[in-house]
Amino acid sequence: MSPYGLYLLLCGVGSFAAKTAFTLNLIYQATVVGLSPLQLVLVGTLMEAVCFVAQVPTGVIADRYSRRLSVVVGYLLMGAGLLVWGLLPTYAAILVANVIWAIGAVCVDGAEEAWASSEIDQEQVTKAFVRGGQLAQAGTLLGIGAAVALTAVEPALPIVVGAVLTLALGVLLAAVMTENNWTPATRKGGVRLSGVLVAIVGGTLFAGMSSEGFDRLSQPFLLPLLGDHPVELVFGALAAFAALGSIVVTGLAGRWIDVVRPQRIGRVLAVVQAATAVGMIALGLSNHWWTAVGLYLGVRLLRDSAAPILNIWLVSATEPGSRATVFSIVAQADALGQVAGGPPAGVVAQRGAIGSGISVAGLFVLPAVVLYALAARVKPAAAVRDASQAGGLRSR
């Protein structure tokens, strides 16, 4: 299998497996395992803590030893963690499963994109990330439906099915994944941060600060506006529309950006984040059902579309030898932002109104817009010089 085809397979099937396992996972933990609200929070806190601590070390390992090995081990660990999660319905087992899954997730995070950017023909890199983002959203859409159907048979079944699919991906990768266009980073090398990369990391931090407020508060905000409509069907339909919309938006963005035009990528991402900020602020102020739903869908699809655009920009702004490490640093900034931004939005929502918390979360995105816009002003030649001839621009 070609690296291009394998990357698309990972995006689609990996997203499907993850969404199948996690869509109704909280319901499983609360009803089948019987976790208390505090235990549910501690499970999530442990997962975020492990991801945060392990991000950069696993990125360095991937750059210095093998990205292929990091990705293979990551999928096997994620599958093993989900299997423990679904087969052993106890609090202790779920904590252990979270640690296993989180370590696997950070092994894949960054290493997968860095591997793809090195192994896929350079003229196909942009197309791969755009198509990969679209297939990931399609996998998300199908995974939601699969989770609902499998839960009707047995509450733990979606988690077990997601585990088996993830393990199968790990075995497949061990058999067919190649690594021909990469050389290990030296200990003297490391990450050379340019002004562009610093701006990207900072922008990701602020964008992450907005995530928790929107994710945790948007659905409770919409609930009073639902009236007598069935909650499960409404939010399921909204998730489906958001996934379909992000596929379209990602495809449209892919027509305007390319890995050899980093300035254009930055401008597109700045516009996407600006629209996201406006949408979140307006959502918090809205009090009409159809207006709120339209804004909610718009924000969701814009946020989903931002990820592949950011990946393409990172490829163009990083050296091949440190790319996995940089991706991990960016992911760590996102995680730190979520930890820092959630409580302020929650406090505002608690003391005022839920909509106010969402609007505050939208304000957190504005510094990201400024940072991305400033980074986009750097001329390509300067960006390449700052990043020591970024690998995304190398010719084959």
Q: How confident is the model over 123-171, as pLDDT tens digits?
A: 788 888 888 888 998 998 899 889 888 988 998 999 999 999 999 999 9
- Stronger pLDDT, 367 or 140, i.e. the higher one: 367
Mention every residue, 6+ apart, whose C-beta is less than 8 A from residue 85.
21, 25, 93, 94, 97, 98, 101, 159, 163
Angle separating helix axes 323-351 and 289-316, nearest 10 degrees: 160
Q: What is the pLDDT of residue 160?
A: 96
What are the CA-CA distances from residue 353 to residues 36, 270, 287 (Å)? 26, 29, 12
141 shares its domain with 208: no
CATH number of the CATH domain containing 261: 1.20.1250.20
Question: Does residue 52 lie in a domain region?
Answer: yes
With 90 as the cut, is the pLDDT of residue 329 above it?
no
What tokens appear for 108 in the block? 């894949």
201 shares its domain with 123: no
- Stronger pLDDT, 324 or 354, i.e. the higher one: 354
Closest CA to 121 of 15, 7, 269, 264: 7
CA pair distance 187, 184, nearest whole angstrom: 9
Question: Which of 140-149, 182-191, 208-217, 311-320 is the most confident on average?
Answer: 140-149
With 60 as the cut, is the pLDDT of residue 384 above it?
no
271 shares its domain with 376: yes
Q: Are 12 and 141 spatial neighbours (Cβ–Cβ below 8 Å)?
A: no
CA pair distance 132, 318, nearest whole angstrom: 20
172 shares its domain with 211: no
Q: What is the pLDDT of residue 41?
A: 62
151 shares its domain with 218: no
- DSSP 8-state class, residue 322: G
CA atoms within 13 A on the CB side of 129: 35
> Among 176, 210, 235, where does a domain finish?
176
Confidence of residue 387 (pLDDT cuts 50, 70, 90): very low
Alpha helix (H) residue ranges in 227-322: 231-254, 262-285, 289-316
Residue owning tokens 């003297």:
188
214 shares its domain with 166: no
Confidence of residue 260 (pLDDT cuts 50, 70, 90): low
In this structure, the chain runs to a length of 396
The model's pTM: 0.73
Closest CA to 266 of 209, 299, 319, 314: 314
Question: Does residue 62 lie in a domain region?
Answer: yes
Question: Does residue 219 lie in a domain region?
Answer: yes
291 shares its domain with 152: no
Number of domains observed in the structure of the chain: 2
Closest CA to 89 of 15, 41, 33, 136: 33
- DSSP 8-state class, residue 182: -
212 shares its domain with 135: no
Q: Are 187 and 46 spatial neighbours (Cβ–Cβ below 8 Å)?
A: no
170 shares its domain with 126: yes
279 shares its domain with 162: no
For 277-289, the pLDDT digits (tens) are 999 999 999 888 8
263 shares its domain with 169: no
Question: Does residue 125 lie in a domain region?
Answer: yes
Question: Does residue 183 lie in a domain region?
Answer: no
Question: What are the backbone dihedrals phi and psi of residue 35, each rounded to the nearest 5 degrees, phi first?
Answer: -75, 145
- DSSP 8-state class, residue 391: G
Confidence of residue 54 (pLDDT cuts 50, 70, 90): confident
Question: Does residue 7 lie in a domain region?
Answer: yes
Question: Does residue 281 lie in a domain region?
Answer: yes
156 shares its domain with 212: no
Q: Average pLDDT of the chain? A: 83
Q: What is the pLDDT of residue 259?
A: 61
> Among 142, 176, 210, where does a domain finish?
176
Question: Does residue 190 lie in a domain region?
Answer: no
CA atoms within 13 A on the CB side of 347: 5
Mention every residue, 6+ apart, whose C-beta is less than 8 A from residue 396.
121, 122
User: Domain containing 7: what range?
Assistant: 3-176
